Amino acid sequence: MTEEKKSLNFLEHIVEEDLSNGMNPKDLRFRFPPEPNGYLHIGHTKAIGISFGLGLTYNAPVNLRFDDTNPAKEEQEYVDAIKEDIAWLGYQWDKECYSSDYFQQLYDWTVELIKDGKAYVDSQSSEEIAAQKGTTTEPGTNSPYRDRSVAENLDLFKRMRAGEFDEGAHVVRAKIDMADPNMLMRDPLMYRILKKSHHRTGDEWCIYPMYDWTHGESDYIENISHSLCSLEFKPHRKLYDWFLDQIYTNDIRPKQREFARLNLSYTIMSKRKLLRLVNDGVVKGWDDPRMPTISGLRRRGYTPASIRKFVETVGVAKRENVIDVSLLEFCVREDLNKTASRVMAVIDPVRLVITNYPEGKEEWLEAENNPEDEGAGSREIPFSRELYIEREDFKEEAGRKYFRLTLGKEVRLKNAYIIKGESVVKDEKGNITEIRCTYDPKSRSGSGTEESKRNVKGTLHWVSIQHAIPAEIRLYDRLFNDEAPDSHKDRDFMEFLNPDSLKVITGYVEPGLKEAKPLDQFQFQRLGYFNVDPDSTSNTLVFNKTVGLRDTWAKVKPSSNTQSSSKPQENTQREIPAIEEIKRAGKKYTNLPEDKREALKTKILEAAKKIDIEELVPLYGTAAKKVGTRIVTTIALGAFLENNSVQPDELAKDFITKGKEDTHELLRNEAEIIANKYDI
């Protein structure tokens, strides 16, 4: 029992502790709550695996709930794609839920909060509300509408619901504490007017609940026992609990806990940057096999089992880290080795003629489908006088350590005969167009003859020209040739695109593949794992390279780390998530002399190129004594706004306003730079 406890991750420990404290195992229920505003990517598989994995571990139901409270960004297309991805991964949800199903209940609860004096209608602009929120060192000031009568608030809220007001005219705020050190607790917004059609409710509503008000209450309605979120939601936990306190009776009370997100090397995980790849035509869409989306991985040939194994191997952590993408590739390689049928294909063909093989003769040879699977059986493949082999499998002259075909030496053709190179035919440019050889008729594989048992060091794959089927072969590789493509100073992540991430060639495959269906998976012997792309038709086969037989990047990676003595240190630093670099800078920023502080500021500006705004928001509420963190957050925020040509939202304006009013000169200066630029 002790050993079993040691193997539990921290989330499982939380569940185990609740059970030991008397919680009924039948009351366990988890959920995965995506917002339907885009496609899922490899980063989401961790959250999916955690929730559904706990469901499997404890034999507990898991809800799939769509947090669809923003009709401006959400579409049914995304709902359908998310459901397809989760089902493909092999997970089954108990209930399919939508936050929009709870709009009436949320409205009714808001009415009760207004009656209890715990919510009110605020008629200020977003800028005015932000200006009154205070700073991390000073409390906020109450809205002039905070003490409206219950009757007036109820009347205004009812009229908001009826559509009498324009967007921005009113909002509903919780009445909590404008002096709370957690900025999210200072009378947060609960409702806003948004006159846009919803993908499920149509035009039934023109007011929509905010995420923080909706999330915990949706968990409560669904009897979720453990609400698991990524780390950026940790500052929201206090508000999550406050909202629950207002409605909680004697039912299951959800418990929010946070885990670290999944970060992957050689990969861009930002939706914004992935969208740029699509919009700039770098990739052919969200399901391009080079994209880290689940649909892209599926199209490339990744298996659900391999992705689930990857998530299991990565495990659950409390702190951010970067996982090498080679682990993901290893997982799919290991899975396909057990399941994929072996076939023969030639992707860079050169003609090979067996001069002593009878013209017009053909024979069918037996070939094992998968040596890792005894039940996979065998198939017959055609053999004839003229074959295709890989061009790289032949050299006119070769050293002793070259074990492929060369003149005067023998190799075995896989599942066939031993051949010996005799001569070549070249074109006018000196390129080899044909290799001529002889074969030993008694050396057929599996025949049991002494000749067939003769030991030769090389074995080549091949296809019979007479029977071969031409196919489009798409050779995919990593989209970026740098471990952290968005981590370099003064360089755009697009500069690190791998020019060889896609090569499209015509190859030849054995005739048995003519009936292959989209997403069927194979091992092209000696080449790698491939699957049939959905672009395939009855007339044209299209194959995608999933992954090679071995990790060729392992040899490339060290060379880039040994160019100078400083390189290893730089690479180690790049493995640290950008937001962590910013946090670390905050711990020492105010203690440095001016020259070193400017150097550190440069690093902060570089790190800001790699973050999403959601990563910065939790830092807005940093304690007053941690002024260094507030300064570097301000610097990073300004860089983010400029780099992405976006305007500051309400939370950002609130944070900057507080910075302008702070007593620390460095913080005031940085905040004023942004305030002047955006008229805050």
Structure tokens, 619: 């830092």
CA within 13 Å, CB half, 375: 2
* 454 is annotated as contributing to ligand binding: no
211-221 and 237-247 are packed helices; what angle lies between their axes, rounded to 10 degrees? 50
Of 141, 213, 148, give the one whose Cα is nearest residue 177: 141
CA distance 472 to 477: 16
- Rounded to a whole number of angstroms, the distance between the first and last alpha carbons of the chain is 59
Give the largest Cα separation in the chain, rounded: 102
* 36 is annotated as contributing to ligand binding: yes
* 8 is annotated as contributing to ligand binding: no
Main-chain dihedrals φ then ψ at residue 289, nearest 5 degrees = -60, -10
Beta bridge partners of 545: 530
CA distance 261 to 472: 37
Q: Is 117 helix (H, G, I), strand (E, B) or coil?
A: coil
Of 78, 65, 80, give the one whose Cα is nearest residue 34: 65
CA distance 394 to 424: 10
* 37 is annotated as contributing to ligand binding: yes
DSSP secondary structure string for all residues of 362-400: EEEEEEES-TT-GGG-EEEEEEESEEEEEGGGEESS--T
* 263 is annotated as contributing to ligand binding: no
Main-chain dihedrals φ then ψ at residue 293, nearest 5 degrees = -70, 155
Which alpha helices (H) appear in 485-616, and where do they start and end? 553-561, 567-574, 578-588, 594-607, 613-616
Provide, for the chain, the percentages of residues in helix, strand and coil under a 3-state DSSP scheme, each rounded to the nearest 5: 40, 20, 40
CA distance 316 to 228: 12
431: number of Cβ within 10 Å: 10
**Catalytic site residues?**
35, 261, 271
CA distance 445 to 417: 6
CA distance 341 to 423: 34
The 3-state secondary structure of 47-114, one letter per residue:
HHHHHHHHHHHCCCCEEEEECCCCCCCCCHHHHHHHHHHHHHCCCCCCCEEEHHHHHHHHHHHHHHHH
Main-chain dihedrals φ then ψ at residue 241, nearest 5 degrees = -70, -35
CA distance 382 to 365: 6
CA distance 265 to 479: 11
* 222 is annotated as contributing to ligand binding: no
**Which residues make up each annotated binding site for ATP?**
35-37, 261-262, 269-271
**Which residues make up each annotated binding site?**
35-37, 67, 211, 261-262, 269-271
